[in-house]
């Protein structure tokens, strides 16, 4: 046995399905970047080609959501609606839609590919990364539509629009961290997939998609301090400060969002990698 162990060690062999060291694991994931890109493109195309409108649904879904929420909450909120309500709502819905799709799809990325996980040897990190990339590709035309609509409703382009680039990068990193955590949790607790839509609904109603948190929480200063560290609020507030006329950019939100994004991504990668040997098992 000792001779076999020496041969295995000398040739860099490892047990099939064994968890690789984190550095090696990340390098092997990077080596499969073409596969991640191809899988994301294929899924994006296959999910939409079955519909008559095809890729048009990438834009229609958030637009229809914004229309429904606008009609309902525009009436409910009445005079307490946020200033410049339509572009305010559109920005919130389009941005939050990227988060929702990343979290829901990321949570199912392993269990929906169970046969692939069991039949082939590859870093399982590839699957949630391809899902988030797919949602990012879907988000790109939505960004263009969001820019057009903000102009239609009176917000002229400025140099501040360039700040959308770091905002979207940080948001994508944050969503990747969320997807990785949800992917592992859903493997361990299959029933969690039934609760995720409700979790998402709570996040939606608390993130300030259709209301201004500053107005609602002005009588609750302690709660406002907590809310100022709410990452989804950071994304929506920055998006509106960049795009919507009448709102300013709180640059402190950028570094807070950066802390959330980088921190959650690191935690998500390590947390997902730690369970690598369990993916594909029946228990």
| Position 41 confidence tier, pLDDT thresholds 50, 70, 90 | confident
User: Using an 8 Å Cβ cutoff, are 98 and 133 in contact?
Assistant: no
Q: What is the pLDDT of residues 207-222, one digit of tens each?
A: 888 777 777 777 777 7
Contacts of 80 (CB under 8 A, 6+ apart): 211, 215
Can you give the pLDDT at residue 155? Answer: 78
Inform me whether the pLDDT recorded for 1 exceeds 60.
Answer: no
Element (H, E) at 117: helix 114-119
Inform me whether the pLDDT recorded for 37 exceeds 90.
Answer: yes
Q: How would you label 97-120 residue by residue, b for 16+ Cβ within 10 Å and e otherwise?
A: bbbbbbbbbbbbbbeebeeebeee
Q: What is the pLDDT of residues 213-251, one digit of tens each?
A: 777 777 777 777 788 888 999 999 999 999 988 888 989
* Better-predicted residue by pLDDT, 252 or 11: 252
| Position 70 confidence tier, pLDDT thresholds 50, 70, 90 | low
CA atoms within 13 A on the CB side of 127: 28
The full set of domain ranges for the chain reads: 22-278
Give the torsion sign (CA, 220, 225, 229, 233): positive
3-class DSSP string for 165-233: HHHHHHHHHHHHHHHHHHHHHHHHCCCHHHHHHHHHHHHHHHCCCCCCHHHHCCCCHHHHHHHCCCHHH
Tokens representing 135 are 């949602």
Instruction: Return d(Cα 27, Cα 229) in angstroms, integer.
Output: 33
Inform me whether the pLDDT recorded for 281 exceeds 70.
Answer: no
| Position 79 confidence tier, pLDDT thresholds 50, 70, 90 | low
């Amino acid at each position: 046995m000792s001779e076999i162990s020496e041969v295995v060690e000398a040739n860099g062999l490892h047990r099939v399905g064994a968890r690789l060291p984190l550095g090696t694991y990340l390098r092997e994931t990077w080596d499969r970047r073409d596969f991640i890109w191809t899988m994301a493109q294929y899924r994006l195309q296959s999910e939409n080609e079955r519909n008559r409108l095809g890729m048009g649904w990438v834009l229609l879904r958030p637009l229809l959501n914004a229309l429904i929420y606008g009609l309902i909450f525009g009436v409910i909120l009445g005079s307490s609606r946020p200033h410049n309500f339509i572009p305010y709502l559109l920005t919130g819905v389009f941005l939050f839609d990227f988060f929702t799709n990343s979290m829901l799809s990321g949570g199912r990325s392993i269990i929906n590919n169970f046969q692939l996980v069991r039949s082939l040897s590859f870093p399982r990190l590839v699957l949630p990364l391809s899902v988030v990339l797919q949602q990012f590709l879907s988000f790109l035309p939505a960004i263009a539509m969001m820019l057009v609509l903000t102009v239609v409703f009176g917000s002229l382009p400025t140099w501040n629009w360039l700040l959308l680039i770091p905002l979207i990068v940080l948001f994508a990193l944050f969503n990747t961290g969320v997807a990785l955590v949800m992917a592992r949790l859903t493997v361990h607790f299959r029933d969690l997939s039934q609760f995720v839509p409700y979790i998402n609904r709570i996040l939606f109603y608390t993130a300030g998609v259709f209301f201004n948190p500053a107005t609602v929480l002005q009588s609750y200063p302690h709660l406002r301090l907590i809310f100022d560290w709410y990452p989804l609020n950071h994304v929506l507030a920055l998006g509106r400060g960049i795009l919507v006329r009448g709102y300013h950019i709180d640059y402190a939100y950028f570094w807070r969002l950066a802390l959330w994004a980088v921190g959650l991504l690191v935690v998500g990668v390590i947390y997902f990698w730690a369970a690598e040997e369990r993916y594909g098992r029946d228990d």
